[in-house]
Structures are given as C-alpha cells and as structure tokens.
A = this chain, B = another copy of it.
C-alpha cells in the first residue's frame, strides 16, 4: 500500500463535474476567462474561482493576467493528452453524457484537440496519409516518409521548420469519438493551422467543433481521399 505517485489527487480534481467541464472546454486550446469557465461549468463565478484555484494548485492549469481578466489554459500538452485519453477510455466504457444534443454530430465530424484536428476528419486525414505512403505506421507510432515530406511541401508546409522544435513531429492521439488514432504533434498542429489559414475551416466560438466551408470541405476530401 501507499506505493508510487498519488493518482487520487488528480482523479479527484478531474472527478468533479464542474471542473471536468472546464477542463474539457480548455482542451479546445483557447485561453478562457474565469467568467467564461463558470458558464461552461454551470456555476457561479465565486465557485468557479475556487475550482480554478484548486486546478492551478494541482498543476493542471496555468493562468495569465491581462488587465482585469485572467486567462486560463491547460498547463501543457501533457494535460491535454491526459484529458483526451480519459475521454477515450470513458467513451469505451459507455460513460457518455445523457443527452446527445444537436452539437454532437458536428463534434464527431471535426473538432480541435488541443491544437490539432480530431474527429472523423482527423482520423480520415491520418488514414489517407498512411495509405498514400506519406506516413509510416510502425507499431504504435508514426513516422513521416520522404515522400510525405515532399507532399507536404507542395501544400505549403515546411517540415524542416517543424523539426527544429523540441516537440515530436508525429504523434498518434486516440480519438474518443472514432476510437481510432488521429495525427497529433507539431505536424498535426501545422496541418490544422494551414486549413484555418486557407479559410477552408474555422473554429467556433463556444465549442470545440471545427466548421468546414463547402469549398473547404471539397478541398479537404480531395486532398485526403480514402478508398471504399
């Protein structure tokens, strides 16, 4: 007994519904204010304030003062991965929300996961990159091929720049809605950024979902075909 690190503390931090909702919202990658997070959690600002203080003390959140606002973000990508992996686990065990709600389909189609694309489109993109030989899937992991580097160059992504960062280029991230992997890492981020820059898609204000324009949809599906 009493072996190893204390998982009960972080379990308890995530275990409160209001806090879990705030964390899930912050997995969208945006910095949110205390008031916004109170709305997300369905509680008053006073209560939210105490929750946020606890989450920060636990090392899950970081805050940045800006004028009279306080912007909260996840402390780092590790927190995002933990949340997303718990979502994947929860989805697999049938721990779903009570009402599917109208936003669910959009969320399953395409959403943001920290800073990269997730959902049906995220999984499709990785599948297509593997099928075309741009990415090698070896065991659990992913590796960019030379062909892939050329293909990406052609759509305006310079892999050389990305390699210089300390962050891994390719990472697989388990998708909770599809239960299959999508592409994370700096390359995943760069790809999503380029879609947004090109105007193919845009982020929504209150949700994690990503909305593709009709034209963007067409371009995306052309660029990442899947057989069948």
Measuring CB to CB, which residues of chain A are less than 8 angstroms from any residue of chain B? 1-17, 19-21, 23-25, 39-42, 58-60, 78-79, 82-83, 85-97, 99, 101, 103-104, 107, 136-143, 168-172, 176-177, 207-208
Contact = CB atoms under 8 A, between A and B. Distances in A.
A99 to B, nearest CB: 7
Contacts of A107: 3-4
B8 A11 contact: no
Contacts of A24: 3-4, 7
Contact of A15 (B1, B8, B59, B143): B8
B25 A7 contact: no
Given A11-B20, A20-B11, A82-B89, A5 B96 contact: yes
A89 B10 contact: yes
A221 to B, nearest CB: 24
18 contacts: A1-B42, A3-B24, A3-B25, A4-B176, A6-B95, A6-B96, A7-B24, A7-B86, A7-B95, A10-B89, A10-B90, A11-B11, A79-B89, A85-B85, A139-B171, A139-B172, A140-B140, A140-B170
A7 B15 CA distance: 7
Contacts of A14: 7-8, 11, 15
Contact of A20 (B8, B59, B86): B8
